[in-house]
């Protein structure tokens, strides 16, 4: 005698598939009824952004629109003025310097930024609280003071 090809697992999968199809049909009918109850609208069809950046359903007033010239919009870093060259030599004060380890830090007098200083970037010997002049150079971890001289 031949055995039935219909196993328990196959029949369970078929039941799940039919149940899923029925649930989908019920959801679709519920959405149709809800749409008819709301007057046939799906909600806000268009969304506008007002002058404060909020989403609204009414279009903005054209009277309040500002005219902006596209030529005036600057993208990127502004160009330097020709007569305004920045002096590469800066002045500062040594806040810390360890001669045994060969490094220290200098505080710029203009902007109070702290810059790393290595013994290889020194011209004169320096100590703590010395007033110095230096130039900046980009290092691996930020700006470094180089060409350091006592004032």
pLDDT tens-digit readout, 51-65? 788 888 888 888 887
With residue 31 as reference, give the H or E element that holds it: helix 8-37
Structure tokens at 20: 């899923």
Q: Which residue has the tokens 């999968």?
A: 13
Q: Tens digits of per-residue pLDDT, 7-33?
A: 889 889 999 999 999 999 999 999 888
Q: List Cβ neighbours of 105 (8 Å cut-off, separation of 6 or more).
A: 94, 95, 96, 97, 114, 115, 116, 117
User: What's residue 86's pLDDT?
Assistant: 66
Average pLDDT, the chain: 87
Q: Which residue would you say has higher pLDDT here, 44 or 8?
A: 8
Task: Choose among 125, 123, 126, 120: nearest CA to 139.
Answer: 120
pTM, entire model: 0.45
On the 0-12 / 13-18 / 19+ scale of CB atoms within 10 A, 127 is exposed
User: What's residue 93's pLDDT?
Assistant: 96
- Measured CA to CA, the distance from residue 136 to residue 151 in angstroms comes to 17
């Amino acid at each position: 005698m031949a055995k039935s090809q219909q196993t328990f697992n196959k029949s369970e999968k078929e039941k799940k598939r039919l149940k899923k199809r029925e649930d989908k049909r019920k959801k679709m009918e519920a959405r149709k009824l809800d749409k008819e109850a709301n007057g046939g609208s799906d909600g806000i069809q268009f969304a506008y952004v007002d002058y404060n950046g909020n989403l609204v359903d009414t279009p903005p007033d054209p009277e309040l629109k500002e005219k902006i010239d596209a030529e005036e919009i600057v993208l990127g870093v502004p160009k330097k003025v020709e007569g305004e060259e920045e002096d590469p030599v800066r002045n500062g004060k040594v806040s810390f310097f360890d001669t045994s380890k060969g490094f220290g830090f200098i505080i710029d007098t203009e902007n109070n930024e702290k810059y790393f200083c290595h013994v290889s970037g020194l011209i004169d010997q320096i100590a703590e609280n010395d007033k110095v002049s230096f130039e900046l150079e980009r290092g691996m971890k930020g700006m470094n003071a180089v060409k350091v001289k006592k004032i």
